[in-house]
Amino acid sequence: MADNIFYEFLNQDSVFIDKNKISPHYTPDKLPFRDDQIKDLSMWLSPALKSQKPHNVFIYGKVGTGKTSVVRHVVNQLDQISIENKFPLYPVYLNCRNYQTKYAVLFYCVQLFYPDKNFIGYSRSFIYDKFLTFIKDNKLNFLIILDEIDKIKDKEIDDIIYTLTRSNDELLVGSVSMIGISNNLFFKSRLDPRTKSSLCEQEAVYPPYNAQELREILTQRVNVAFKPGVVTSSAINSAAAFAAKESGDARTAVMFLLKAGEISDRDKLKQVTDVEVLKAKEKVEQEVIKSMVLTLPVQLQLVLLAITHKSDNPKGILKIDGSFEENVLYSGEIYEMYSLLAEKYDEKPVSMRWFREYITELETYGFITTMQSGKGVKGNTTLIKLGVDSKTIQNLLLKEFEA
């Protein structure tokens, strides 16, 4: 038994008391600096306490600003009180990354409603009918949370919102409401004006956290996740400052400390200091890029892949004044490469107009920088430069597409 390779881990000293509580998947009971957001959301959902239809809500905010945590916290509380008082609320949470079409969303709900039945292979209209019937028969106030709603396919999104809204016209009893959550600045502009006004009946924008707020959030988590006194205050300050400088993202801040703790354990240290936080930061940044790339919608992944292919052999651009701009690509050549790749991987290529939107979107995420050719280059076109390591991104994406 003494030979077991896990023996060392079993007896290893650790800086953590409950590592789970510093994991980014953990939702703490208290969410400091989100009192106003919690209050607003509770008010918008409160009609459920009178067995009436809650408002539709759209929540936008950058990555790690507490959107999912706040919604889960408020809806859990509402669910609890509804069960106690027998209010007919039926909340369902889903992450649209895993349910990208109207059929997938409705199918998921119907399968939840009737857990003993198997609806595989049934038509769309049958599934929609079952969905309505269950809500009507049970007189439910059905509340669907569509987290990361921007991950729903472009051509399905209006249809989904429209169908869910329209259900209310077909129901004499019961209701259907939705909460949409997104960190995508462009999502709303993609909606048809009518669906936009339905979804955004009530709206909230969650601001990023500043360094002081992140420090408090981290301190609260450190107290429950680490042994007393092992995390130095300079470690907390560094983690908060790094995260505030980059994005005001609480998830990244929490990740910095989790990884720093793991580094201390690995190196058999008794403390977590700013040295481990700095090492952790480098590691986390790699992972953040990876997860950003892998969670982009497929079409954006294809555009990014096209850019990395073209970046392998960048021709650069000779300007009229004779100077040479290195590593710059023409948007036209990327569009051509993108169209070829789309075909290769069985996706329908989008029009040039959508393609331009995607380029803007990739720029907002920091993957590329763009400039107008304007001065010194013939014609007027968008020039694109990759801002991240081409090979890393390409390998990640090829693994996805070739899988």
Ligand X SMILES: Nc1ncnc2c1ncn2[C@@H]1O[C@H](COP(=O)(O)OP(=O)(O)OP(=O)(O)O)[C@@H](O)[C@H]1O
Residues forming the site for Mg ion (CB under 5 A): 68
Q: Which is nearer to ligand X, 255 or 350 (CB)?
A: 255
Position 25: which residue type? Answer: H
64 part of the interface to ligand X, by CB under 6 A:
yes
Binding string to ligand X for residues 136 to 165, with x set by CB under 6 A, is what? Answer: ------------------------------
Contact with ligand X (CB under 6 A) among 41, 48, 63, 96: 63
Q: Which is nearer to ligand X, 64 or 180 (CB)?
A: 64
Q: What is the DSSP letter of 85?
A: H
210 part of the interface to ligand X, by CB under 6 A:
no
CB 147, min distance to ligand X, A:
7
314 part of the interface to ligand X, by CB under 6 A:
no
CB 64, min distance to ligand X, A:
5
| Binding to ligand X, residues 29-48 (CB under 6 A) | 31-34
CB 196, min distance to ligand X, A:
20
Going by DSSP bridges, is the β-strand pair 382-386/368-372 parallel, antiparallel, or unpaired?
antiparallel
Binding string to ligand X for residues 68 to 107, with x set by CB under 6 A, is what? Answer: xx--------------------------------------
Q: Which is nearer to Mg ion, 109 or 250 (CB)?
A: 250
371-375 own/partner pairs: CB under 8 Å, 24+ apart: 373/317, 373/330, 375/319
Radius of gyration of the chain (CA): 25
Residue 162 binding partner per list Mg ion, ligand X, none, with a CB distance cut-off of 5 to 8 Å that depends on partner kind: none
CB 70, min distance to ligand X, A:
7
Helix (H) or strand (E) run with residue 91 in it:
strand 89-95
Residue 163 binding partner per list ligand X, Mg ion, none, with a CB distance cut-off of 5 to 8 Å that depends on partner kind: none
Position 154: which residue type? Answer: D
Check if the beta carbon of residue 382 is closer than 8 Å to that of residue 371: yes
The interface region with ligand X, picked from 42-50, 58-66, 77-85, 344-352 by CB under 6 A, is 58-66
Position 359: which residue type? Answer: I
Q: List C-alpha distances in Å: 337 to 215, 328, 332, 365, 393.
A: 45, 15, 9, 21, 16
CA dihedral 365, 147, 158, 193 (to 10 degrees): -70
Residue 31 binding partner per list Mg ion, ligand X, none, with a CB distance cut-off of 5 to 8 Å that depends on partner kind: ligand X
Binding residue count for ligand X, defined by CB under 6 A = 21
Phi, psi of 280 (to 5 degrees): -65, -40
What's the burial of 356, exposed, middle or buried (CB within 10 Å: 0-12/13-18/19+)?
middle
CB 73, min distance to Mg ion, A:
12
Q: Around 12, how many Cα atoms within 13 Å sit in the side-chain half-sphere?
A: 16
The interface region with ligand X, picked from 56-64, 129-137, 151-159, 161-169 by CB under 6 A, is 56-64
Residue 27 binding partner per list ligand X, Mg ion, none, with a CB distance cut-off of 5 to 8 Å that depends on partner kind: ligand X
Q: Tokens representing 128?
A: 């929609």
Q: List C-alpha distances in Å: 165 to 39, 40, 53, 143, 169.
A: 25, 22, 12, 12, 8
| Binding to ligand X, residues 248-307 (CB under 6 A) | 250-251, 254
SS (H, E, C) 112-152: HHCCCCCCCCCCHHHHHHHHHHHHHHCCCEEEEEEECHHHC
| Binding to ligand X, residues 170-189 (CB under 6 A) | 183
Q: Which residues in this chain contact ligand X in the complex, by CB under 6 A?
A: 24, 26-28, 31-34, 61, 63-69, 183, 217, 250-251, 254
